[in-house]
A and B are shown apart, each in its own frame.
Chain A
Amino acid sequence: MVLLHVLFEHAVGYALLALKEVEEISLLLPQVEECVLNLGKFHNIVRLVAFCPFASSQVALENANAVSEGVVHEDLRLLLETHLPSKKKKVLLGVGDPKIGAAIQEELGYNCQTGGVIAEILRGVRLHFHNLVKGLTDVSACKAQLGLGHSYSRAKVKFNVNRVDNMIIQSISLLDQLDKDINTFSMRVREWYGYHFPELVKIINDNATYCRLAQFIGNRRELNEEKLEKLEELTMDGAKAKAILDASRSSMGMDISAIDLINIESFSSRVVSLSEYRQSLHTYLRSKMSQVAPSLSALIGEAVGARLIAHAGSLTNLAKYPASTVQILGAEKALFRALKTRGNTPKYGLIFHSTFIGRAAAKNKGRISRYLANKCSIASRIDCFSEVPTSVFGEKLREQVEERLSFYETGEIPRKNLDVMKEAMVQAEEAAAEITRKLEKQEKKRLKKEKKRLAAIAALASSENSSSTPEECECFRVPSGTWHGSYLVTSMVGSFCKLFSGLR
């Protein structure tokens, strides 16, 4: 004879219900099914043993998070230990989720069961819950769900685990967009300034240099020998500087007024600052990638790695993809077209832009692409799931790809994978230990600073005879590690915004 209890979690609190005693659990099923709809009959089978409401919305949120992860919260433990009979062998607890059942069994020792009749009973409880608990109405239960739903969702958005990936995705998209825009604007500068000084367009090929020159030269009539030095500095080519000087004297461009020149100059200075910003954004992206996915960036480079992550949506998504998907990420149009018409599927997608594919002979491109995609998959998984990501594995994998390439060219046998990985693991452990030591040192320093500051504030407070306590100052504590990142991000975004507000 087992006492079957059922645990029901609701936004207002936990409820423990007991079922009438039966010999066999399965005998209950037909009875439960027929009476689930009828409240009176349901009362005969199920009665409420205990109800533990949540103390506050904060507590409710913690419990909701614990339930969604399948962890036993303190309140749940309290409820179960208080109200379930102490003879653990005689009690069978029915729960909705096998994960939490396993956790309860492990921590508290009660036998748990899910599925079958338990699921039916839980459906009935969910339907009639507001009737089972005294003082609870349908409306108040719904209000509690509303509040808890809002706080749960807000918490999810706020503590988004993919926040570093988001920075990378936005940066790489911005980089691509900036390239296009800088090119368009430079073309515009060329056209515009070309009315005044057409020969300059042919002499200078580089966009950034042209814009700087346009800004510097201004009215071509004022060009003389004195400015030759500066010209050389800008173009970094003596011959070109001389050619510019000569061309300016015999130019067929029209004369333009000072105010037109001012406009052209201000526009070209904007373009110059945009391309400088692009440089700094590139360095920012490289630093972020080496922080987040060092192996991946060591293997295929920061730009391609960032594009892969952006395409997949996050590093975790990229790690979950099979290697064959990584191989053709970015070539979806060709892939589905080939699948529908039963043609040949593409051999490479975004991976194509890494250096290796270009270096392979035509008939080896497919093989290298597959090999590279396999290694990328390994690298992204290592980055995503290791505690302290290092670039050691990335470098070793890169060596392997190089060896494979030279094998196709010269026939030289590459090293065995097992040996390479053994080396890599040893090195990686050392590197990881090094990094953890550094982080610990930083953490200690920060804690010391905090203590000093708190002590100083407390001293100040006590000297002023005010009532503030050291506990109140805890609100100043900022979670470690995030302030640096967030400062960098806001400075990047800020400089970007400033550029565009100026452009308007």
Chain B
Amino acid sequence: MTTTLTPASPAGNRCRQPSSWARTTARSPRRPLTTAASYRKLTPPPRPQIIKIPSQGAKPRRQAPGGGGDGRDRGGGGQRRGGVAKSKSRRRKGASAVSVEPHRHEGVFIYRGAEDALVTLNMVPGHSVYGERRVTVTEGGVKQEYRTWNPFRSKLAAAILGGVDQIHIKPKSKVLYLGAASGTTVSHVSDIIGPDGLVYAVEFSHRAGRDLVNVAKKRTNIIPVLEDARHPLKYRMLIGMVDVIFADVAQPDQSRIVALNAHTFLRNGGHFLISIKANCIDSTASAEAVFASEVRKLQQENLKPQEQLTLEPYERDHAVVVGVYRPLPKSASK
């Protein structure tokens, strides 16, 4: 029961929902996921020696990577074929110098060293936002500082490492971030979009909002908004039209919140990324059913989903849905 979201898409079935495995294959309910301690050894993470899922031939979690496939090591997708990854990892350890290479997604990088990691270019060199590790690499005589991005703490990093096709957050884009919490992932988004972009970070909790305002003091492309995302009209004075909405709010009426914000602030042809926590929407229903019902609710509000991806092995029963809002007519697209 694969859920097809864009059956006519050239890349084939874009849904990466693990429908035929994981839930139906034998797996104890208390199977431990990859622990944070093994995070350091991780990139791209789904290496069979780390995932404790009995691979059973490692049914690839997504079909042949469509148009995006390229020779460079991607953050996640291709590595999930069982057995192949082992040899690749051995080959990579042979490579000598510490280096940083760009990821397929613009603004994101991969740090290749003793341990591989997902990193972003630090907009405020010399400062850590939440105590994360920073690495300095000399490129062509210029010292660049990068901050490591922990996929266990950040849903966006988990999605990137999980192999999402497009995150749509690029340098110079304007992002509306709902559910910004203390600003840990927001700081990485701010690194990606650079000083010319803008991220409007909406967070309702005052305790977390205090930390968010402190992060925003150093990074001038973050605008903190301490207001309930359920009422976008209350903060309409502070926000302009955005290109991307990223929602990580963990509320049962999440789809409605995203829809309201999209109708007010998301431009035509803009994209959205929503992180869905199945437990939060309905704790008694199965995760697949919850994701399917959320996708249906989004479609009713003119938010067209294009990709769905679960965040295993970083989070349990979480999925990320990426889509487009009011897609521009093909004739008008550049």
Q: Which residues of chain A (67-89) have a CB below 8 Å from chain B? A: 67-68
Nearest chain A CB to B233's CB is how many angstroms away? 4
Which residues of chain A are near B159, meaning CB under 8 Å?
A: none
Among the listed A68, A146, A162, which residue makes an inter-chain contact with B235, where contact means beta carbons less than 8 Å apart?
A68
A157 touches B238 (CB 8 A): no
A126 touches B220 (CB 8 A): no
Given that A145-B239, A156-B206 are contacting pairs, would A339 and B224 also be in contact in the complex, using a CB cutoff of 8 Å?
A: no
B267 at the interface (CB under 8 A from A): yes
B226 touches A152 (CB 8 A): yes
The residue of chain B having its C-beta at the shortest distance from the C-beta of A341 within the complex is: B284
The residue of chain A having its C-beta at the shortest distance from the C-beta of B210 within the complex is: A157
Given that A96-B236, A149-B200, A340-B283 are contacting pairs, would A123 and B241 also be in contact in the complex, using a CB cutoff of 8 Å?
A: yes
Which residues of chain A are near B227, meaning CB under 8 Å?
A: 68, 152, 156
Question: What 1/0 flags go to A1-40 for Cβ under 8 Å of B?
Answer: 0000000011100000000000000000000000011000
Q: Which residues of chain B (243-288) have a CB below 8 Å from chain A? A: 263-265, 267-268, 283-284
Compute how far the CA of A119 lies from the CA of B236 in the bound complex, rounded to whole angstroms: 12
A149 touches B223 (CB 8 A): yes
Q: Which residues of chain B (207-243) have a CB below 8 Å from chain A? A: 209-210, 212-213, 216-217, 220, 223-227, 233-241
Which residues of chain B are near A11, meaning CB under 8 Å?
A: 237-238
- Known contacts A96-B264, A150-B216, A157-B213; 9 additional CB pairs below 8 A are A11-B237, A64-B238, A68-B237, A97-B236, A126-B241, A145-B238, A153-B226, A157-B226, A339-B284
Nearest chain B CB to A3's CB is how many angstroms away? 24
The residue of chain A having its C-beta at the shortest distance from the C-beta of B217 within the complex is: A150
Nearest chain B CB to A377's CB is how many angstroms away? 21
Q: Which residues of chain B (294-334) have a CB below 8 Å from chain A? A: 328, 332
The residue of chain A having its C-beta at the shortest distance from the C-beta of B265 within the complex is: A126
Nearest chain A CB to B278's CB is how many angstroms away? 13
A393 at the interface (CB under 8 A from B): no
A160 at the interface (CB under 8 A from B): yes
Which residues of chain A are near B210, meaning CB under 8 Å?
A: 157
A142 touches B240 (CB 8 A): yes
Interface majority SS on A: helix, strand, loop or mixed? helix
The 10 closest A-B pairs by CB, nearest first: A149-B223, A68-B234, A153-B226, A156-B226, A97-B233, A153-B224, A127-B241, A9-B237, A149-B238, A126-B241
The residue of chain B having its C-beta at the shortest distance from the C-beta of A336 within the complex is: B283
A373 at the interface (CB under 8 A from B): no
B198 at the interface (CB under 8 A from A): yes
A96 touches B263 (CB 8 A): no
Interface majority SS on B: helix, strand, loop or mixed? mixed
B283 touches A96 (CB 8 A): no
Which residues of chain B are near A146, meaning CB under 8 Å?
A: 220, 223
Question: What 1/0 flags go to B109-136 for Cβ under 8 Å of A?
Answer: 0000000000000000000000000000
Compute how far the CA of A36 lies from the CA of B332 in the bound complex, rounded to whole angstroms: 13
Which residues of chain B are near A339, meaning CB under 8 Å?
A: 283-284
Which residues of chain A are near B198, meaning CB under 8 Å?
A: 142
Given that A126-B241, A127-B241, A339-B284 are contacting pairs, would A149 and B224 also be in contact in the complex, using a CB cutoff of 8 Å?
A: yes
A448 at the interface (CB under 8 A from B): no
Q: Which residues of chain A (227-262) have a CB below 8 Å from chain B? A: none
A150 touches B213 (CB 8 A): yes
A127 touches B237 (CB 8 A): no
A96 touches B268 (CB 8 A): no
Compute how far the CA of A129 lies from the CA of B241 in the bound complex, rounded to whole angstroms: 10
The residue of chain B having its C-beta at the shortest distance from the C-beta of A162 within the complex is: B206
Question: What 1/0 flags go to A92-131 for Cβ under 8 Å of B?
Answer: 0000110100000000000000000001001100110100
B213 touches A154 (CB 8 A): yes
Question: What 1/0 flags go to A128-165 for Cβ under 8 Å of B?
Answer: 01000000000001100110111011101100101000
Nearest chain B CB to A240's CB is how many angstroms away? 49
Please list 14 pairs of residues, one from A and one from B, whose beta carbons are closer than 8 Å in the complex, sorted by A's number.
A37-B332, A63-B237, A64-B237, A67-B237, A97-B233, A123-B267, A127-B241, A149-B224, A149-B225, A153-B224, A153-B225, A156-B227, A157-B210, A157-B213
Q: How many A-B residue pairs have CB under 8 A?
A: 88
The residue of chain B having its C-beta at the shortest distance from the C-beta of A98 within the complex is: B233
Q: Which residues of chain B (184-217) have a CB below 8 Å from chain A? A: 198, 200, 206, 209-210, 212-213, 216-217
B238 touches A152 (CB 8 A): yes
Which residues of chain A are near B236, meaning CB under 8 Å?
A: 9, 67, 96-97
A148 touches B213 (CB 8 A): no
Question: What 1/0 flags go to A44-84 for Cβ under 8 Å of B?
Answer: 00000000000000000001100110000000000000000
Compute how far the CA of A146 lies from the CA of B225 in the bound complex, rounded to whole angstroms: 10
Among the listed B206, B233, B239, which residue makes an inter-chain contact with A160, where contact means beta carbons less than 8 Å apart?
B206
Compute how far the CA of A402 lies from the CA of B210 in the bound complex, rounded to whole angstroms: 45
Nearest chain B CB to A173's CB is how many angstroms away? 14
Which residues of chain A are near B263, meaning CB under 8 Å?
A: 119, 123
Q: Which residues of chain A (429-464) have a CB below 8 Å from chain B? A: none
Which residues of chain B are near A119, meaning CB under 8 Å?
A: 263-264
Nearest chain B CB to A112's CB is how many angstroms away? 14
Nearest chain B CB to A340's CB is how many angstroms away? 6
The residue of chain B having its C-beta at the shortest distance from the C-beta of A156 within the complex is: B226
The residue of chain B having its C-beta at the shortest distance from the C-beta of A13 within the complex is: B237
B265 touches A156 (CB 8 A): no
From A10, A123, A141, A339, name the one whose CB has the most chain B CB atoms within 10 angstroms: A123
From B206, B212, B328, B332, name the one whose CB has the most chain A CB atoms within 10 angstroms: B206
Compute how far the CA of A142 lies from the CA of B209 in the bound complex, rounded to whole angstroms: 21
A127 touches B267 (CB 8 A): yes
Compute how far the CA of A181 lies from the CA of B223 in the bound complex, rounded to whole angstroms: 42
Which residues of chain B are near A150, meaning CB under 8 Å?
A: 213, 216-217, 223-224
Which residues of chain A are near B213, meaning CB under 8 Å?
A: 150, 153-154, 157
The residue of chain A having its C-beta at the shortest distance from the C-beta of B205 within the complex is: A313
Which residues of chain A are near B267, meaning CB under 8 Å?
A: 123, 127
Which residues of chain B are near A123, meaning CB under 8 Å?
A: 241, 263-264, 267
Nearest chain A CB to B287's CB is how many angstroms away? 13
Nearest chain A CB to B8's CB is how many angstroms away? 25
Among the listed A141, A157, A336, which residue makes an inter-chain contact with B209, where contact means beta carbons less than 8 Å apart?
A157
Given that A64-B237, A153-B209 are contacting pairs, would A145 and B223 also be in contact in the complex, using a CB cutoff of 8 Å?
A: yes
Which residues of chain B are near A122, meaning CB under 8 Å?
A: 264
Compute how far the CA of A129 lies from the CA of B233 in the bound complex, rounded to whole angstroms: 17
Question: What 1/0 flags go to A339-378 for Cβ under 8 Å of B?
Answer: 1100000000000000000000000000000000000000
From B220, B223, B239, B283, name the one whose CB has the most chain A CB atoms within 10 angstroms: B223
Compute how far the CA of A360 lies from the CA of B234 in the bound complex, rounded to whole angstroms: 49
Which residues of chain B are near A36, meaning CB under 8 Å?
A: 268
A145 touches B332 (CB 8 A): no
The residue of chain A having its C-beta at the shortest distance from the C-beta of B203 within the complex is: A153
The residue of chain A having its C-beta at the shortest distance from the C-beta of B225 within the complex is: A149
Question: What 1/0 flags go to B160-200 for Cβ under 8 Å of A?
Answer: 00000000000000000000000000000000000000101
Among the listed B206, B239, B264, B284, which residue makes an inter-chain contact with A157, where contact means beta carbons less than 8 Å apart?
B206
A148 touches B238 (CB 8 A): yes
The residue of chain A having its C-beta at the shortest distance from the C-beta of B196 within the complex is: A139
A37 touches B284 (CB 8 A): no
The residue of chain B having its C-beta at the shortest distance from the C-beta of A69 within the complex is: B234
Which residues of chain B are near A9, meaning CB under 8 Å?
A: 236-237
Compute how far the CA of A176 lies from the CA of B263 in the bound complex, rounded to whole angstroms: 47
Compute how far the CA of A340 lies from the CA of B285 in the bound complex, rounded to whole angstroms: 9
Nearest chain B CB to A114's CB is how many angstroms away? 9
Which residues of chain A are near B235, meaning CB under 8 Å?
A: 68, 152
